[in-house]
Structures are given as structure tokens and as C-alpha cells.
């Protein structure tokens, strides 16, 4: 009965089917560590550094979604957070573990999908640096409900995601509607969100604390590129 729809999960799997499995892309992507990929640099997001420096977020329990080689996880651990990082790529997770070991940091890195997270009110901070914009639109509901459940009351959600209009600088070439994704059968490397759209998606679950474009730092100690939004949100009451 593999192709019989009996549940919402069956519908989600059916909608997943025409698209490339995420692990088919991300494991090869992280294999060459010398590749000229901006976020391979072991430096945290500049907005995350700013949140900590200004006291908008304080040390507690944090989860780093789609953590890749662990650059934001390492930073949070160095700031006193108890950190768990997850990524669908086992290759990225191995790299992250090596980086943590080199720094003598105790971080729980796990190779798993964000849809395998079943935490309930456990985290003070959930951070997403480029995960949401790689999720198929029909999976967003599940994702945002997971993040909201995982956060403690008044917990924080930090996120960076693609801005439209920066195809010449490394962002998506064009902004696609969600319907375009299914009509064309591709996300073209990731979806860009207008400010209006990302707020429309997140506001049922979270209150916006800060919303701005990512800034290019004037040093190598943090990471920022103009084709990303950077925003901080606080969980609304259930």
C-alpha cells in the first residue's frame, strides 16, 4: 500500500516524491572542504554575534538547525550555551564534530532531518542559518510547528534566509511563488522570500524582535552577505 494516501504524512511524501532527496545533494556538497563556499568559513553569522553582544539572547539551551560544519554551534557554545546541532548531511556533521573537538567544545551533533526532532519546550533558542529556504513549501507548516513546540515559553527563534534580487551576488536568480515550485518541479537552489512573505509565514507563531538585511562585516571573525535576511523572533503564547 506504498502509494495509498491514508494520512497527512502520506500526502507530504507524495509531494516530496518528484523532487531530489536533500541528502543526495548535501553530502557531496560538503565533501570538498576547500571549495570556495562563503559559509564554509568557520565564523558565526554577524547577526547572531550582534544578538549576543547586545544581550537580546542570553546563554541557555540552544538548537542549531541545518548546522552544516557547525560554525554557529561552536560560537554559541563559546558564549556559554548548551548546544545541540543537527544536519541531514553526515559529511557536514563529521566536519562539525572535528571542529568542536579541536576547540575542546562539548556539542551534541546529530545527523538527522529537522522533521525527526520531537522536542517539547526544551530550548531557549532555536537558530536556523539557511535551512528554511531549502525546504519545500508543503513542509513549512510542519517545520514551524516543530520550532514552536521545541521552544520554551518566550523562547527565541533566529533565522537567516534568502532575499530576492541578488542573483548576481550568489542568491537565487529570481523570486518564485510557492505554486511555481510545483509547476516547474524545482526550487532552483533555494527560495527567496520578500519581507512581507517571511513575516506572513512566521507571525502566527512568533513576534518579530528585529528584522534587517545581513551585513557584510569588516573583519573575518563573523559572516554576513547582502543576499540574506537576518531576523530574531520570540515565541508567542500557545
pLDDT at residue 171, as a whole number: 66
Per-residue pLDDT reduced to its tens digit, 16-71? 998 988 878 899 999 999 888 888 889 999 999 999 999 999 999 999 999 999 99
80 contacts 59 by C-beta, under 8 angstroms: yes
Residue 174 has pLDDT above 80, yes or no: no
pLDDT at residue 231, as a whole number: 98
Q: How confident is the prediction for the chain on average, in pLDDT?
A: 93
Query: When comparing pLDDT for 167 and 209, which is higher?
Result: 209
Q: Are strands 108-111 and 206-213 parallel, antiparallel or unpaired?
A: unpaired
Q: What distance in Å separates the CA atoms of residue 136 and residue 8, rounded to the nearest whole number?
A: 15
DSSP code, position 20? P
- φ/ψ of 182, rounded to 5, equals -80, -35
Q: What distance in Å separates the CA atoms of residue 62 and residue 196, rounded to the nearest whole number?
A: 27
pLDDT at residue 170, as a whole number: 66
Give the residue from 50, 30, 31, 48 showing the smallest Cα distance to 39. Answer: 30
Residue 188 burial by Cβ neighbours in a 10 Å radius (0-12, 13-18, 19+): middle
60 contacts 125 by C-beta, under 8 angstroms: yes
Residue 142 has pLDDT above 90, yes or no: yes
pLDDT at residue 35, as a whole number: 87
Residue 238 burial by Cβ neighbours in a 10 Å radius (0-12, 13-18, 19+): exposed
Amino acid at each position: 500500500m506504498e502509494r495509498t494516501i491514508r494520512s497527512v504524512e502520506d500526502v507530504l511524501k507524495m509531494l516530496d516524491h518528484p523532487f531530489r532527496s536533500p541528502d543526495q545533494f548535501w553530502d557531496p556538497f560538503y565533501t570538498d572542504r576547500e571549495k570556495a563556499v562563503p559559509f564554509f568559513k568557520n565564523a558565526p553569522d554577524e547577526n547572531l554575534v550582534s544578538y549576543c553582544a547586545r544581550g537580546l539572547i542570553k546563554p541557555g539551551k540552544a538548537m542549531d538547525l541545518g548546522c552544516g560544519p557547525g560554525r554557529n554551534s561552536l560560537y554559541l557554545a563559546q558564549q556559554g550555551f548548551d548546544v545541540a546541532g543537527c544536519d541531514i548531511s553526515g559529511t557536514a556533521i563529521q566536519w562539525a564534530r572535528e571542529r568542536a573537538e579541536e576547540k575542546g567544545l562539548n556539542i551534541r551533533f546529530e545527523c538527522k532531518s529537522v522533521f525527526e526532532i520531537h522536542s517539547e519546550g526544551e530550548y531557549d533558542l532555536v537558530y536556523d542559518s539557511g535551512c528554511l529556504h531549502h525546504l519545500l513549501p508543503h513542509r513549512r507548516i510542519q517545520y514551524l510547528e516543530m520550532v514552536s513546540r521545541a521552544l520554551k515559553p518566550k523562547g527565541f527563534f533566529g533565522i537567516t534566509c534568502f532575499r530576492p534580487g541578488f542573483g548576481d551576488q550568489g542568491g537565487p536568480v529570481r523570486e518564485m511563488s510557492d505554486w511555481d515550485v510545483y509547476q516547474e518541479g524545482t526550487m532552483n537552489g533555494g527560495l527567496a522570500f520578500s519581507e512581507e512573505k517571511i513575516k506572513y509565514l512566521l507571525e502566527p507563531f512568533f513576534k518579530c524582535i528585529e528584522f534587517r538585511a545581513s551585513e557584510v562585516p569588516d573583519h573575518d571573525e563573523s559572516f554576513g552577505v547582502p543576499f540574506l535576511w537576518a531576523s530574531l523572533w520570540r515565541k508567542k503564547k500557545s
